[in-house]
Amino acid sequence: MRHALLMLFMCILMRPVLSGELLEYHVNKVDDYFVLHLDMRVKANYRQVNSVLMDFAKMPEVNDTVVESRLLERIGDRHKIFFASEACIWVFCERIEQVAMVTELGQGYIMSNILVEESDLRHGRSLWHLIDEGSTTRVIYDAEYIPDFWVPPLIGSALAREKMLSEGLKTINGMERVIADQRTGQ
């Protein structure tokens, strides 16, 4: 009986299922580089998606793998930001700290370059392209990274690819969740 009541309580508290779409993806490992491409559709308008992406303090709400995120400095359309994330694949867990220069390029493009001297990556850059589709926004994300920490051989590229893909999906749904919460005032 307690189990049934708990399930009923959880169902009442559950939020509606979000419905972002993953249109296309690929994750590859080439030498030391991890290369990621995600083509997604978010059920929110362009202004809302852009606002969430550029609100660096909200990143832990968008994706709970990000445990800390803050703006360090802003110079016009350039933002120096700090991110810390904690990710696990099986029992191997790593806290990854990054400092990046994020630049709003206009026309829906946002570029990020990792400042390697202040980060746990030997290389990292990404490009977001937001495309206004009216009530939805197409988000194309391309990134490449070289970790500056040991990745056990047991964690093959297939597992790393699966983890990167799941983080991309978590981000799509997280953006929609944060936007839905803003709409309802939560």
- Full-model pTM: 0.81
Per the domain annotation, does 171 fall within a domain? yes
The answer as to whether 126 is a domain residue is: yes
* Alpha-carbon gap, residue 27 to 163, rounded angstroms: 10
Residue 141 domain-assigned (yes or no): yes
Query: What percent of the chain has pLDDT above 90?
Result: 54
> Is 32 within the bounds of a domain?
no
Indicate the pairing of strand 109-114 with strand 92-106: antiparallel
Mean pLDDT of 85-102: 86
Question: What is the span of the domain harbouring residue 117?
Answer: 37-184
Flag whether pLDDT at 12 surpasses 60. Answer: no
- Residue scoring higher pLDDT (139 or 18): 139
Model confidence pLDDT, tens digit, residues 25-48 = 888 878 888 888 999 999 999 999
d(CA 117, CA 127): 20
29 within some domain: no
Does residue 175 lie in a domain region?
Answer: yes
Count of beta carbons in the 10 Å neighbourhood of residue 119:
18
User: What CATH number is associated with residue 151?
Assistant: 3.30.530.20
Question: What is the number of domains present in the chain?
Answer: 1
pLDDT average, residue stretch 134-146: 93
Identify whether 168 is part of a domain.
Answer: yes
81 confidence band (pLDDT: 50, 70, 90) = very high
Q: What is the pLDDT of residue 120?
A: 87
| pLDDT, the chain, mean | 83
Cα distance between residue 103 and residue 126, in whole Å: 11
- As a whole number of Å, the CA-based R_g of the chain is 18
- pLDDT confidence bin for 125, thresholds 50/70/90: very high
- Asked whether residue 3 is assigned to any structural domain, the reply reads no
Rounded distance, CA 4 to CA 55, Å?
Answer: 40
CA nearest neighbour of 106 among 130, 80, 71: 130
CB–CB of 121/146 below 8 Å?
yes
pLDDT at residue number 45: 95
